[in-house]
Structure 1
């Protein structure tokens, strides 16, 4: 256990606990008024992750790593529970047991994938079993490219149909990220032969260009929604939520590019 372990753990928990908290709110807003039990469960998860987020900011990089390891385990348990809740909700929707609700099945699957990602990150941190850099680059990009493609689809469906230009832009982003995702899956299937630094470097550069464009589109949409300048049923917090996740993806791409550069310098 080290200072680096503490810093990375706190970064992950602070970012993703806020995301889990907001997922709880979004799911709650999508339930029907008669779904009182599900609304109550979502409220409980909101408060659980609000507390986790608050506690994470009470720690510093000088906190005892063993204390952070215990905290990570506690958070892991909470994330496992919200993952079960999300999969339960998905099952109810797909089985047509919540007719008239406003939670898309893909959205519920999407937020459950993010919970599973968070859970896995906590396990990796606590056990020290991090993926080799080439595997991490491909796997993280496969995960986040799918997340970005989903976001574009959600934005396109939640904008008012009369916002034709923005809807078209969202659909174009959806198609772009679907293609990037398929390319990433192809690269993954060619492992380990595909894990050369030139290929991985080009892979990151190409993805970065598209993520920057999508991030900027999300920022514009967020600002327009907050100013009530476009017609949609997108909650302002949801608009900011998807913007922050694009920023997170860019942060990860930057981290990978720095690691590749260091490897090239050593050689």
Structure 2
């Protein structure tokens, strides 16, 4: 039992939650990368289309499972999805190499491609952890997870600042401020990581999560406002409406993870087995 929940139920719920969330993210990455290629990058475009279909199928298959599914079947599914996540990671690193060696051009920032590859690696690693029985966040994982997501949030702020029309001066300035804020939070998290294991105390981790939560909530709300304005065609940008929603969902996900870590620290760690409603 895990906080009143059977281990098998927790394993299934968390596995399906990770797959439902991240398979959608991977599917959308495929679309965004495709849109950023030049029209003559036909092979890369075809590969992007294939990955879109792969992760769409994975998301659909995940919806066919329930808590009554045999845990061994879920473990096998995790392994299959891990392979797909590893393959899209390799595809993204190939694109990054082509960009950095000037063999292709287009509208995909190298940092954006690296960013998406880090998320693919995170997804694959999370599936490995689940199959190895790691359901509870360890103190080290709390710090490492925040390092990962704080960098993701800092990247998002930079991308938003670059993709807004320069005439949207106030929004561009806000994005730059968020970029600076999350760079500072990231540096603090890296410092905390280097102080491990001595930094893995409940008071320090609790303060760490509280400080991050305040900034993530502000960024999440900014992304929601930007998404709504983009969808209503009220601001000028080259941000795809789906991309605006994509980065909003990732910030919202991070908030759920912070809350889950906080609950774990305070002894209420399993009140939310599934982190997101997607």
Q: CA contact under 8 A between 2:137 and 2:261: conserved in structure 1?
A: no
Matched, 1:11 2:35: no
CA contact (8 A) 2:227 2:245 kept: yes
Shift of residue 131, structure 1, vs aligned partner: 7.0
| Alpha-carbon distance between aligned partners in 2 of 1:94 and 1:8, rounded to the nearest angstrom | 37
Which among 221, 225, 247 is matched to residue 226 of structure 2? 221
Moved more, 187-196 or 209-218: 187-196
How far is the alpha carbon of 1:58 from its aligned partner? Answer: 0.7
Note the 1:135-150 alignment, pairs <5 A.
Answer: 135-150=140-155
| Cα deviation code 1:92-147 (max 9, x no counterpart) | 00001113x00000000000000000000000001114575211110100000000
Deviations 1:219-245 (A, max 9, x none): 000000000000000000000000000
Note the 1:71-150 alignment, pairs <5 A.
71-99=77-105, 101-129=106-134, 133-150=138-155
Q: In the superposition, relative to structure 1, how do residues 198 and 234 fare at CA in structure 2: closer, same or farther (>3 Å)?
A: same
1:182-197 alignment, distance < 5 Å: 182-197=187-202
Higher helix share: 1
Matched, 1:62 2:72: no
Gaps (5+ residues) in structure 1?
Answer: none
List runs of 5+ in structure 2 lacking aligned partners: 1-6, 270-278
Q: Residue 61 of structure 1: CA displacement?
A: 1.3
Q: Is 1:24 the equivalent of 2:7?
A: no
Partner deviation per Cα, 1:182-228 (whole Å, 9 max, x = no partner): 00000000011111110000000000000000000000000000000
Kept after mapping to 1: 8 A contact 2:11/2:135: no
TM-score of the aligned structures, taking structure 2 as reference length: 0.93
Are 1:164 and 2:176 matched, yes or no? no
Other structure's SS at 2:233 match: coil
Alignment partner, residue 273 of structure 2: none
The Cα offsets for residues 43-84 of structure 1, whole Å up to 9 and x where unpaired, read as: 000000000001101111111100000100110111111000
Preserved CA contact (<8 Å) 2:227 2:241: yes
For each residue in 1:127-169, what CA deviation from the matched residue of structure 2 results, as whole angstroms up to 9, or x when unmatched? 1145752111101000000000000000000000000000000
Secondary structure of 1:2's counterpart equals helix
Q: Is contact 2:82-2:127 (8 Å) kept?
A: yes
**Structure-1 separation of matches of 2:22 and 2:243:** 15
Structure 1 Cα separation of the partners of residues 137 and 73 of structure 2: 26
Q: TM-score, normalised by structure 1?
A: 0.97
CA RMSD of aligned residues (A): 1.2
How big is the shift at 1:263?
7.6
